[in-house]
A and B are shown apart, each in its own frame.
Chain A
Amino acid sequence: MPEPEDIAASDDRLMAQTARGDRQAFQTLVDRHLGRSLVIIRGFQGLAPEAEDVAQEAFTKLWVKAPQWQPPAVTGRDERQALGQAGFRTWFHRLLINHCIDRQRRLGRRRAHQSVSLDDAPALADDRDNPSDQLLAQERDKTVHRAMGALPERQRLALTLCAFEGHSNAAAAEIMGIGVKALEALLVRGRRQLRTALTDFMANGSS
């Protein structure tokens, strides 16, 4: 299995090929990043029902803007950060999130800083038959997913970028267009609320 650093360098190469009009490279990028992009998109209030359309528009933008992307001169993440250079994932996630925000504005559904009740939080739909340990993991995932759905949007996004996508605090702050301190504050509040939401949810039953 390739190391994350290799995947990042490979993404950078694919992006450079996409910039030259290579459709196969573009397809590979979509294959790699669609699932994770859908998770990010569904984290935005009101976008879950049309997540696939939003993803398609974001990948269209990726194709159109590919020639503007500057490949980092170095491949190491720490070195790139030191030089202020964005790798493909940071660049694409910024594009994706900006597009989600635009889309929300267009839909007139922007409800930033609003929480949804646990009952309204989206449940992870997964009704596969699994052995008990998988059922346990499945139940845990469903619980976490619903608790995440109860978080304010920006806290959920900060947690998604750092805990799920593995971005550093600096990269996540750059993607969200905020300072590192502000991002850290979002993470602290997000984790605290996630703990509370998980506790509430488990106390009230997870079904």
Chain B
Amino acid sequence: MNSSPNNTGPDQPDGPDGRDPRLMTEAELDRWVHHAMADEAAATPPGLSQQIAARALEQVQSTPEQSGGRAEVRSTGRSWVWPVLWPSAASVAVSALMGFFAGTGQLPVPLGTDLLNAIPPGYVAPNAGVDPWADTDLLAGLGGGFGFDAGLSFDPTMDGGDE
């Protein structure tokens, strides 16, 4: 074979229609490819497409994962969203609330160091070291002074209950 593109000798191979492939343009070459393949595509036996389509639909119906494929695709598209979204949304809401109170410097309830600072230095609670459950009389005394000594006047005789 002679591989020189410029060779015009008698052994130069010509195409079936007299063209030398080495001298063909890109478009001509593509046109040959197109014709060859188009003829092959057109040679598809008649009726084959009906058979293929029928078999494809049959396969879809007979295979559970494929027959349910459409519904699954749509349902799974939603099913994972809420279990992921709700905890995320709750977490974001709590974070935002905490951030708000931290930003204003005020907490919704008096907690933490404010309460501790309110106790004067050296203060000893009156019932420190006393076991409240050791003596029922003490409990009675505590009960008497627990709420009613806080500015409220209480006279058992006024109740009239004992009369």
Residues on A facing B (Cβ under 8 Å): 23, 26-27, 30-31, 34-36, 38-39, 42, 52, 55-57, 59-60, 62-64, 67-68, 124, 126, 136-145, 148, 159-160, 162-164, 191, 194-195, 198-200, 202-204, 206
Contact = CB atoms under 8 A, between A and B. Distances in A.
A56 to B, nearest CB: 5
Given A35-B42, A164-B38, A198 B33 contact: no
A201 B2 CA distance: 12
A25 B33 CA distance: 30
Nearest to A140: B16
Bin the interface of chain B by size.
Answer: 35 or more
B29 A191 contact: yes
B66 A139 contact: no
Given A140-B32, A163-B33, A31 B60 contact: no
Contacts, number: 142
10 shortest interchain CB distances as A-B pairs:
A35-B41, A163-B30, A198-B21, A35-B44, A202-B13, A144-B36, A203-B13, A141-B36, A140-B16, A163-B33
Interface in B59-100: 59-60, 66, 69-70, 73-74
- Most B-side CB within 10 Å, residue of A68, A137, A144: A144
Nearest to B42: A35
A102 B40 CA distance: 24
B56 A141 contact: no
A105 B37 CA distance: 25
A67 B40 contact: no
Contacts of A27: 49-50, 53
